[in-house]
Amino acid sequence: MRRTLRLFFRTAMVLVVVFTFCFLLVEGYSYYQLGIEDRFYHDQHQLLKPSGLIGHGLGIVGSLLIVAGVSIYMIRKRVRRFARLGVLKYWLEFHIFLCSLGPILVLFHTAFKFGGIVSISFWCMVAVVVSGIIGRYIYLQIPHTIEGREMSLTELEKTKAEFKQLLQERYQLNPLLIDEILQAVRSRPDRTKGNSIGRFAKKFLFEYKLLRQIGTLLNANHFARDTRKELLRLIRYEISLNRKIDRLLTMQNLFRYWHVAHLPFALVMLLIMLVHIGVALAFGYRWIF
């Protein structure tokens, strides 16, 4: 049930981001495709221009979403008092959602025309979003506990030992079959030849054949269909875990370097955004207030 609920919320967040982008683009496409000189004569100019009712509002809401997304995740991660408030990886997913939706609104606030110091903030925002996508990929390659804490090598070895124990106690597999499964799971593809794409394809085919081989073993031992599904799901996780252990050190180092690049862009973006807001207020742009 919990897994289904998580899938529902993830899907809903993705759909909200995609729908918002498509809706704003379709509704304002005839305006955004015009040059700056021609926009003045468009019937939606007073609404969609950066200082207009809708354009200005998109900038305010987008900025608030970005600030909220950064703040709540940093507070949850770094303030000990909130350490038990929800699971960290769920907060990370919500952070990604807010910091994906916010930049989209800010993009439409600019009406796809930006220059001067504000353009630095915009491109920093783009760099933050792109680096966030890369960081998310690196984060997923590092094994974490259910709370979102990075697992140590000792914990990973313990998890591998628990996998064997689970096969013995819960599924009552005989020792010979367990040894065959573990030998198959812990085997490695040949990585000595080929480029990155070739090695990726080879690894994909290797794991596909490996799962088929294990499926044949389970079929030969006449397990029920539901039991086979559960075992294959566990075995897929074990294969994924072994893959992550193999490149754990590399991914941990990449994640540290990623922080060095991601944080400065975020700070520059927020600083210039605050300056932009201050200038807008000084010139009397107060939206509906």
29-33, 113-117, 156-160, 193-197: which has the minimum mean pLDDT?
Answer: 193-197
- Residue 150 pairs in a beta bridge with 144
Same domain, 239 and 185: yes
CB count in 10 Å sphere of residue 141: 16
Same domain, 207 and 70: no
Among 241, 172, 177, 176, CA closest to 214: 177
**Residue 288 included in any domain:** no
Burial class (CB within 10 angstroms; exposed 0-12, middle 13-18, buried 19+) of 208: exposed
Percentage of the chain exceeding pLDDT 70: 86
**Residue 241 included in any domain:** yes
Same domain, 9 and 53: yes
pLDDT confidence of residue 204 = 67
**pLDDT above 90 (res 109):** yes
- Residue 144 pairs in a beta bridge with 150
- Who's near 79: CB < 8 A, 6+ residues apart? none
pLDDT confidence of residue 284 = 82
Q: Indicate the DSSP class of residue 150.
A: B
Burial class (CB within 10 angstroms; exposed 0-12, middle 13-18, buried 19+) of 245: middle
Mean pLDDT is highest, among 48-62, 102-116, 155-169, for 48-62
**Residue 129 included in any domain:** yes
Same domain, 17 and 6: yes
Mean pLDDT is highest, among 92-101, 153-162, 164-173, 253-262, for 92-101
Same domain, 241 and 121: no
Same domain, 185 and 217: yes
Same domain, 218 and 200: yes
64-78, 140-154, 214-228, 233-247: which has the minimum mean pLDDT?
Answer: 140-154
Q: Structural domain of residue 172, as residue ranges?
A: 153-248
Average of per-residue pLDDT values in the chain: 80
Among 139, 1, 106, CA closest to 9: 1
Same domain, 27 and 140: yes
**Residue 287 included in any domain:** no
**Residue 206 included in any domain:** yes
Same domain, 123 and 27: yes
Same domain, 242 and 277: no
pLDDT confidence of residue 231 = 78
Same domain, 133 and 32: yes
- Name the domain count of the chain: 2
- Who's near 239: CB < 8 A, 6+ residues apart? 185, 207, 210, 211
Among 93, 77, 124, 130, CA closest to 13: 93
**Between the CA atoms of 192, 196, 200 and 206, what dihedral angle is there, to the nearest 10 degrees?**
-10
Query: In sequence order, which ranges of 170-195 are alpha helices (DSSP H)?
Result: 175-185
**Residue 266 included in any domain:** yes
pLDDT confidence of residue 287 = 81
**Residue 289 included in any domain:** no
What distances in angstroms separate CA 228 from CA 59, 171, 182, 211, 234, one per listed residue? 52, 10, 16, 11, 10
Q: Cα 12 to the chain's mean position, in Å?
A: 14
- Please check whether residue 48 is in contact with residue 31, taking contact to mean a CB–CB distance below 8 angstroms: yes
Alpha-carbon gap, residue 172 to 3, rounded angstroms: 26
- Who's near 136: CB < 8 A, 6+ residues apart? 96
pLDDT confidence of residue 97 = 93
**pLDDT above 70 (res 58):** yes
Same domain, 92 and 211: no
Q: Cα 254 to the chain's mean position, in Å?
A: 16
pLDDT confidence of residue 191 = 55
Alpha-carbon gap, residue 101 to 111, rounded angstroms: 16
**Residue 173 included in any domain:** yes
Angle 101-104-105 from CA coordinates, rounded to 5°: 90
